[in-house]
């Protein structure tokens, strides 16, 4: 992020700063200081106090203190003056996200927004200010009536979404591991903290223009000339809305618009617009939160993601010991063998549900009898693995085959020596990295050296089914 000559100068494009400073001066009883003006402009650009602190090279506490002791109180006085009420009875600035919203309602936002990506497009004042009917829009509603634990994951993700104000959270992991269910559970637990919620699945590869039009329509901010706008222009309108309103947006099954046959992270032909949408939602300041689920860690997310960044990725793993609740729910017997069953299927809830049905059909629910067959049965889970395997590049397929044929976990150098195709080590590293981003590799340390392996179900699929 760059620091402009006058910090957060972009606020002047979208806000009537002069009258705002003037009126705030009256509400304060003296002119705002340059620092107060600067932090206020930062908020109006959609930055959080910690992002403002980063850009101004000061501590986050310094910014927070200045805002809460002075700027927020002055804004409350201003609103109270307008409403002819006591400050304590008028709107209160509960946190930084309220500032653009309240000042917009007070009439300080410029109605004709410049630089929307499509010159001259306008967003009417009413359309920005008004909230969608019902406040929630789901195109598909995952059933989470039976949902076990994931307590620590939920606590962490809640912290990312609410306390850390992350702009984008990517939940990635193998098919069936529970990404959609986890996202839905998280959404139910945090949606009250947001003004509205939009859930869209990309599984059927919706056209980006249609998707954005549909979302803007729901948000009541579709510009009248939307049919003439490019998808970039529609993205600009969406981001402007998300700067003023704190919304929760979920895009489920993002892998559907990513391409196969090459290394991970590229968009399918015709779906590059999604790349721009997701990149801009990550990079441009706004006060909303976007949750993405995908088989693959997204390339955009990895550029500016990290523990202190507003974009974070979380690899969703199997349920582990918590899977026992699924086996209880499925009424399987031989509880003493459940650990073995869970580890064979890496706690993948979908795989366990599929296998539970087979255990009932063939062995009357006896896990011991099923395990005594000494074979890892994949059943319909095979088809899900097939979907993931067919996305791999030829080199990824060869590498995963080499790993599957090795009985124990394997180092990068071992893979390099076992591979028959001529490849430079740096290329091999890119291939292994891509497989890992697709959640297909397990990584561990052996004698301080990184070793790679496959989950048992993936290994079985690669060995016996991938060539069918
Ligand atoms: N915590 C959980 N408790 C109980 N069941 C769960 C849990 N998580 C997932 N499941 C069940 O496991 C199945 C797969 O879950 P889900 O659809 O969320 O996986 P996914 O990772 O989104 O899969 P895909 O990659 O195919 O979209 C569903 O039937 C879901 O209800
Ligand atoms: Mg899913």
**pLDDT by residue (tens digit) across 133-142?**
558 999 988 9
Q: How far, in Å, is the centroid of ligand 2 from the Cα of 313? A: 16
Residue nearest (by alpha carbon) to ligand 1 atom 4: 147
Are 151 and 236 in the same domain? Answer: yes
Ligand 1 atom at shortest distance from the alpha carbon of 384: 26
pLDDT tens by residue, 404-451: 998 789 999 999 999 998 889 999 999 999 999 999 999 999 999 999
Does the pLDDT at position 114 exceed 90? Answer: no
Query: 340 and 193 share a domain?
Result: no
Ligand 1 atom with least separation from CA of 253: 27
Same domain for 170 and 298?
A: yes
147 pocket-lining for ligand 1 (C-beta < 6 Å):
yes
User: Structural domain tally of the chain?
Assistant: 4
Q: Is the CB of 349 under 6 A from ligand 1?
A: yes
Are residues 300 and 199 part of one domain?
A: yes
Q: Examine the fold and report which residue of 285, 315, 345 is the final residue of a domain before the chain moves on.
A: 315
Percentage of the chain lying above the pLDDT 90 cut: 65
**How many angstroms does the Cα of residue 285 sit away from the middle of ligand 1?**
32
Q: Which atom of ligand 1 is nearest to the CA of 349?
A: 12
- Are residue 208 and residue 98 in the same domain, yes or no? no
Residue nearest to atom 16 of ligand 1 (CA): 178
Q: Can you tell me the mean pLDDT for 260-281?
A: 86
| The pLDDT of residue 268 | 87
Q: How far is CA 271 from CA 211, 230, 296, 392, 446, in A?
A: 12, 14, 16, 19, 41
User: 274 lies in a domain?
Assistant: yes
Residue-range definition of the domain harbouring residue 373: 320-377
Is the distance from CB of 278 to CB of 292 less than 8 angstroms? Answer: yes
Question: Going by CA atoms, what residue is nearest to atom 28 of ligand 1?
Answer: 350
- The contacts found for 450-453 with CB under 8 angstroms, 24 or more apart, are 450/411, 450/412, 451/408, 451/409, 451/410, 451/411, 452/403, 452/409, 452/410, 452/411, 452/412, 452/415, 453/403, 453/408, 453/409, 453/410
Q: Is the CB of 179 under 6 A from ligand 1?
A: yes
Could you tell me if residue 120 is inside a domain?
no
Same domain, 430 and 356: no
> Tell me, what DSSP letter sits at residue 254?
G
Is 118 within a domain? no
Whether 1 is in a domain gets the answer no
Let me know if residue 132 belongs to a domain: yes
Main-chain dihedrals φ then ψ at residue 298, nearest 5 degrees: -80, 145
2 within a domain of the structure (yes/no): no
Burial group, residue 354, by CB count within 10 angstroms (0-12, 13-18, 19+):
buried
Q: Which residue has the higher pLDDT, 248 or 126?
A: 248
Q: Which helix (H) or strand (E) holds 418?
A: helix 412-418
Quick check: CB of 146 below 6 Å from ligand 1? yes
Domain boundary among 77, 105, 133: 105
What mean pLDDT is predicted for residues 7-20? 89
The answer to the question of residue 3 being in a domain is: no
Which residue in 75, 104, 101, 100 sits closest to 90, CA to CA? 75
CA 349 to ligand 1 center in whole angstroms: 6
Q: Best substitution site from 144, 175, 180 to test ligand 1's pocket, by max atoms within 8 Å of Cβ?
A: 180
Q: Is 350 in the pocket of ligand 1 (CB under 6 A)?
A: yes
Q: What whole-number distance in Å separates Cα of residue 308 and Cα of residue 160?
A: 10
Q: Answer whether 461's CB lies under 8 Å from 382's CB.
A: yes
Query: Domain check: are 139 and 257 in the same one?
Result: yes
> Looking at residues 319-329, what average pLDDT do you find?
93
Question: What number is the average pLDDT over the span 140-156?
Answer: 92
Structure tokens at 233: 């222009």
Between the CA of 232 and the centroid of ligand 2 the distance, in Å, is: 27
| Beta carbons of 97 and 287 less than 8 angstroms apart | yes
Same domain? 80 vs 99: yes
What confidence tier does 4 reach under pLDDT thresholds 50, 70, 90? very low
Condensed to tens digits (0 to 9), the pLDDT of residues 60-72 reads 899 999 999 999 9
Residues 94 and 182 in one domain: no
Among positive and negative, which fits the CA dihedral 346, 349, 350, 355?
positive
Test site for ligand 1: of 349, 352, 457, most ligand atoms within 8 A of the Cβ: 349
Q: Is the CB of 416 under 6 A from ligand 1?
A: no
Q: What is the pLDDT of residue 410?
A: 94
Strand-pairing partners, residue 250, are: 199, 291
Residue that is last in its domain, among 354, 377, 400 = 377
């Amino acid at each position: 992020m760059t620091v402009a000559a006058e910090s957060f100068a972009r606020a002047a494009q979208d806000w009537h700063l002069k009258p705002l400073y003037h009126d705030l001066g009256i509400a304060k009883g003296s002119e705002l200081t340059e620092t107060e003006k600067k932090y206020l402009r930062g908020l109006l650009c959609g930055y959080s106090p910690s992002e403002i602190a980063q850009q101004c090279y000061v501590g986050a506490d310094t910014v927070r203190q200045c805002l809460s002791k002075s700027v927020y109180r002055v804004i409350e006085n201003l609103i109270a003056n307008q409403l002819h009420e006591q400050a304590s009875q008028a709107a209160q600035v509960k946190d930084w996200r309220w500032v653009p919203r309240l000042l917009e309602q007070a009439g300080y936002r410029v109605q004709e927004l410049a630089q929307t990506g499509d010159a001259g497009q306008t967003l009417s004042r009413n359309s920005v200010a008004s909230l969608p009917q019902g406040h929630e829009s789901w195109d598909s509603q995952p059933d989470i009536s039976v949902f076990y634990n994931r307590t620590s994951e939920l606590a962490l993700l809640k912290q990312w979404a609410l306390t850390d104000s992350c702009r984008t959270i990517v939940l990635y992991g193998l098919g069936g591991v529970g990404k959609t269910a986890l996202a839905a559970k998280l959404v139910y637990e945090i949606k009250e903290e947001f003004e509205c919620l939009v859930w869209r699945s990309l599984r059927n590869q919706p056209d980006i223009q249609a998707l954005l039009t549909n979302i803007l329509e729901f948000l009541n901010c579709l510009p009248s000339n939307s049919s003439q706008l490019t998808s970039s222009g529609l993205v600009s309108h969406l981001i402007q809305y998300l700067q003023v309103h704190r919304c929760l947006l979920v895009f489920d099954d993002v892998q559907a618009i990513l391409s196969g046959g090459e290394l991970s992270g590229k968009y399918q032909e015709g779906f590059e617009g999604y790349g721009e949408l997701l990149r801009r939602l990550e990079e441009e300041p706004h006060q909303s939160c976007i949750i993405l689920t995908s088989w693959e860690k997204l390339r955009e997310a990895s550029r500016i993601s990290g523990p202190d960044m507003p974009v974070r990725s979380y690899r969703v793993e199997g349920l582990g010991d918590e899977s026992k609740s699924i086996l209880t729910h499925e009424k399987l017997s031989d509880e003493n063998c459940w650990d073995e069953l869970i580890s064979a299927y890496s706690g993948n809830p979908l795989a366990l549900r599929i296998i539970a049905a087979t255990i009932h059909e063939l062995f009357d629910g006896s896990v011991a009898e099923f395990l005594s067959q000494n074979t890892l049965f994949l059943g319909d889970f095979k088809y899900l693995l097939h979907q993931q395997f067919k996305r791999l590049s030829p080199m990824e397929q060869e590498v995963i085959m080499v790993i599957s044929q090795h009985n124990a976990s394997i180092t990068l150098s071992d893979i390099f020596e076992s591979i028959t195709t001529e490849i430079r080590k740096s290329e091999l590293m890119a291939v292994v990295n891509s497989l890992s981003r697709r959640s297909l590799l397990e990584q561990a340390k052996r004698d301080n050296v990184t070793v790679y392996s496959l989950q048992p179900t993936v290994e079985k699929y690669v060995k016996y089914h991938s060539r069918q």
